Amino acid sequence: MKLAMPRITFWKVTAAVFLLGGLAATIVRFGWGLGAATNLTDITPWGLWIGFDVVTGVGLAAGGFTLAGIVYIFHLERFKPIVRPAILTAFLGYSLVIVGLMFDLGRPWAIWHALIYQNPHSVLFEVAMCVMLYTTVLALEFSPVVLERFKLHRALKFVKAITIPLIVLGILLSMLHQSSLGSLYLIVPQKMHPFWYSPMLPVFFFVSAVAVGLGMTIVESYLSARAFGKTLETPLLRDLARIMLGVLLVYFTMRGIDLLRRDALHLLFEPSFETSMLYLEVSLMLIIPLLLFNIRGWGQTRVGLFFTAFSMVLGFVTNRLNVTLTSLESYYRENFGTSYFPSAGELIVTISIVTAGFVLFALAVKYLPIFPEHEEETVLRIGDAPDRSSAPPLEGTPAAELRRH
């Protein structure tokens, strides 16, 4: 193996700049406290770090359980090549959520208290437990990739034997905490704008998480193709996009009915900051993706699918930020005459965490067998189900072939 100077590219420099900025903000956060680093106040105790790094982050990592379910529970085997990247993203996503949480917690060193002082009446306790367990499950689901890489056959065999229970457990945990992130807000009905408060929040959070899991998978697959030349077949992505749009239609129908039942439909026609934010959310999440997908000849090409999914992902981010931040603004404004906007420090930390996600993903794709080398013939196995078909011997797997960077 030859050691060469890594090529310096625009993206590498950008990433380095962001990460350095993040380092500076980290020093302020842990050297001078939350008050110095953030715009959080006694009136606005939760800000961008909870809204984006935690609530949105967990959502964006939903591809892991969605695809594991599609492939292993519904046996739609043709999606198998996508499972690995999806689980990788999920694992990285959850790890970064925990990093984000360490920034936000006032006493991060006490985080393990959640294990011993359990309050079963707290939604946050449930979220904490599920996130912790699910991150472990994801690590196990992802472990075959690493185990294959280092030829640890016995461990590999063990993980493969428990694959299906692991997948089922992962899906159950995801259902619980994806929805619970919405339940967190059930306790403040009077503080939230009627566009986003609903007793149905847990259901909405779960359904939209399924959709964004699919969207993220499409986005990643496109970006990986551009960056590493590793990609997935377009027809597969097209099917994913189709399922995603189907889920979104169900989702927005439910939200429409919910607004109707809560007599809040008329608010849609009253111009306000909140109304514009809702329109932005619906456009990005549903309308633009639907339009793009249906552009003849372009919508279903690789690029078209990318933009369809990318818009959806942006819409999803808008939705989570609307629930966590926008919806509280009118309460702050009317009762305290204040408003919350993240500080430079909060923004930089968030951007660096996202950057770290990209960097780690890139490294993983480079050094581990994540994407199939040759589409079609290659069936990659994430800790495969007890397989009664022609299981190729381990040595012959693409993992072995990939061992040459």
Partner 1 sequence: MSHAILVDLTLCVGCGACTTACQQVHNFPEKENPTLDDKNFTTIRTVTENESGDEYYVRKMCRHCEEPACASACLVGALTKTKDGAVTWDTNKCIGCRYCMLACPFDIPKYEWSSMSPKVRKCTMCYQERHLTADMELDDAGYVLDASGERVVIEGREITAEDRDTIIELTTNMDDNRASACSVACPMEATVFGERDQLLAEAKRRILESPDDYVPRIYGQKEVGGTSVFYLSNVSFESLGFYTNLENSSYPDKTWRVLEKIPDIVVTAGVALGAVYWITNRREDVKRYEEEIKSKRSKKKA
Nearest distance in Å: CB 43, partner 1 = 7
Q: In degrees rounded to 5, what are phi and psi of residue 378?
A: -80, 120
**Contacts with partner 1: how many residues (CB under 8 A)?**
56
Q: Is 187 in the site for partner 1 (CB under 8 A)?
A: yes
Residue with token string 């359904």? 207
**By C-beta, is 198 or 319 nearer to partner 1?**
198
Nearest distance in Å: CB 365, partner 1 = 29
Q: Do residues 346 and 37 make contact, with C-beta atoms less than 8 angstroms apart?
A: yes
Nearest distance in Å: CB 117, partner 1 = 4
Q: Is 70 in the site for partner 1 (CB under 8 A)?
A: no
Q: Which two tokens stand for residue 231?
A: 């990609």
Q: Which stretch binds partner 1 (CB under 8 A): 10-18, 82-90, 164-172, 364-372?
A: 164-172
Residue 60 to residues 240, 354, 371, Cα–Cα distance (Å): 16, 11, 20
Among 34, 181, 305, 312, binds partner 1 (CB under 8 A): 34
Structural Rg of the chain based on CA atoms? 22
Cβ partners under 8 Å of residue 60, min gap 6:
93, 212, 216, 313, 316, 317
Nearest distance in Å: CB 163, partner 1 = 11
199-207 contacts at long range (C-beta below 8 A, 24 or more positions apart): 200/254, 200/258, 201/323, 203/179, 203/254, 204/251, 204/254, 204/255, 204/258, 205/59, 205/178, 205/179, 205/180, 205/181, 206/175, 206/178, 206/179, 206/182, 207/247, 207/250, 207/251, 207/254
Picking from 375, 367, 374, 372, the residue whose alpha carbon sits closest to that of residue 404 is 367
Q: Which stretch binds partner 1 (CB under 8 A): 88-96, 170-178, 217-225, 369-377?
A: 170-178
Tallying the residues shown for the chain, one arrives at 405
Q: Is 176 in the site for partner 1 (CB under 8 A)?
A: yes
Among 11, 13, 17, 189, binds partner 1 (CB under 8 A): 189
Instruction: Compose the 294-333 pattern: x for residues touching partner 1 by CB under 8 A, - for all others.
Output: ----------------------------------------
Q: Which stretch binds partner 1 (CB under 8 A): 34-42, 237-245, 296-304, 341-349?
A: 34-42
**By C-beta, is 43 or 360 nearer to partner 1?**
43
Among 7, 388, 404, 405, binds partner 1 (CB under 8 A): 388
Q: Is 73 in the site for partner 1 (CB under 8 A)?
A: yes
Rounded distance between C-alpha atoms, residue 85 and residue 216, angstroms: 10
Among 25, 171, 214, 232, binds partner 1 (CB under 8 A): 171
Residues 89-128 that bind partner 1 (CB under 8 A): 104-108, 110-111, 113-114, 117-126, 128
**By C-beta, is 192 or 312 nearer to partner 1?**
192
**By C-beta, is 105 or 249 nearer to partner 1?**
105
Q: Is 172 in the site for partner 1 (CB under 8 A)?
A: yes
Q: Do residues 359 and 120 make contact, with C-beta atoms less than 8 angstroms apart?
A: no
Picking from 60, 61, 82, the residue whose alpha carbon sits closest to that of residue 71 is 82
Nearest distance in Å: CB 53, partner 1 = 13
Rounded distance between C-alpha atoms, residue 324 and residue 176, angstroms: 19
Where along the sequence are the contacts to partner 1 (CB under 8 A)?
32-36, 40-43, 45-46, 69, 72-75, 104-108, 110-111, 113-114, 117-126, 128, 164, 168, 171-172, 175-176, 180, 183-184, 186-191, 199, 202, 335, 388-389
